[in-house]
Amino acid sequence: MLEAFLNPTIARLVVTVDADGPSVAQLCRIVAGAERRHGTSDTYPASLPGDDTLLMGRMIAAAAATTGFALSLTGSLLRLPRLPDLVAVPPTLADHLPRLRRELERRLGPEGTDMFFGVVNATAAALTLSPTAAAAEAATRAMLAAEAWTGRLTWRRHEPGLGSRPVPDDAASAPRSVPTPADGPAERYANRIGAIGLGAAAVAGVLSRNPDTAGAAALAAVPKPLRTVREAFGCAMSRGLAARHDALVLRPGALRTLDRVDAIMIDPRAFYVDELMVSRILGVQDSQRTRAWEAVRAALDNGELSPGWHDLADIPGAGGAPARR
């Protein structure tokens, strides 16, 4: 082993070995043994765009969803016998209700949960012969697989730079606690409408004595579009940033939580440029502000102003209050 250091940016241990050094499997066993000895947390590490497990999981889920769509469509055309819609209710609710899905993610991890639901939902669609639901599932899984593939290609371009920046041994390392973001409006709505729909489905099943009616009512109340639209937005943003700006999105899940943002703080220094510009005008009525602003800009373009505060009375057509550039 030539070098080993912890890269906090990507939360990974970067190891460099020589030609006759340990293999990847041996290194994994060494790290796993060290984690067991020191009693590390049982939480799953965040995946990176270049991880094989992320891409393989999404490819498996996409393949399962496509197979489920083909089987359900074939069964519908051939009018084969099917199971009632009630069979698809438990996995659909667990997938689209944030409260239930979060519990599974704690046990299986985000990627494991995603692959699990991809296979289970495809199986349920095939057994209930629901080509419409299967088509929507296949489209979503195809988008996620495309996002993972784009992320992997972008990661391969950026990995040499990201993985070659060791942190000095004497650098201060303060523990950083990142709280789990609170549920946004979409999550709260999904949890609420899912519970209401489940109750309404139970009432419909009791009154009709028909499991198909109860299952159809429960599935109709599931807020599927919320998650589908969010995934589509996240995939489009992630792929667009990579294609147009060669940007590597380390945590694509963050793009799915932008609806929870209620305020944006921007450092004014980000707007600093080499040229002078008007930044503020004070003491002017709103009805006169546009005229004063244009007069100040004209004076600035003509080279009549220097950095700092100026009296508007000294600027032709501006008025009589101070301005700042």
pLDDT given at position 156: 92
Distance separating alpha carbons of residues 84 and 219, to the nearest angstrom: 12
Q: CA dist 229 to 29, 41, 42, 179, 216, Å?
A: 40, 33, 32, 25, 22
Instruction: Give the rounded distance of the alpha carbon of 13 from its chain centre.
Output: 24
For the segment 78-84, the average pLDDT, to the nearest whole number, is: 93
Q: Which two tokens stand for residue 24?
A: 């990847």
pLDDT digits (tens, 9 = 90+) for 115-138: 999 999 999 999 999 999 999 999
Across the chain, mean pLDDT equals 85
The pLDDT score that the predictor gives to residue 78 is: 94
pTM, rounded to two decimals: 0.75
Helices 185-208 and 89-96 cross at an angle (nearest 10°) of 160
CA angle, corner 193, sides to 189 and 197, nearest 5?
170
Using one digit for the tens of pLDDT, what is the confidence trace for 278-298?
A: 878 888 888 888 888 888 888
Q: How confident is the model at residue 154 (pLDDT cuts 50, 70, 90)?
A: very high
Query: How confident is residue 242, by pLDDT bands cut at 50, 70 and 90?
Result: very high
In a 10 Å sphere around its CB, with 0-12 CB exposed, 13-18 middle and 19+ buried, how is residue 20 labelled?
Answer: exposed
Cβ-based neighbours of 150, under 8 Å, separated by 6 or more: 238, 239, 242, 243
Relative to beta strand 12-16, strand 280-281 is: unpaired
* Domain locations in the chain as residue ranges: 3-38, 52-166+184-260, 268-324
Tell me: pLDDT of 18 over 80.
Answer: yes
Give the whole-angstrom CA distance, residue 116 versus residue 105.
Answer: 10
Say yes or no to pLDDT of 239 above 80: yes
What's the pLDDT at 174?
Answer: 46
Q: Rounding to the nearest 10 degrees, give the CA dihedral for residues 89, 90, 95, 98.
A: 110
Q: Which residue has the tokens 């940033």?
A: 241
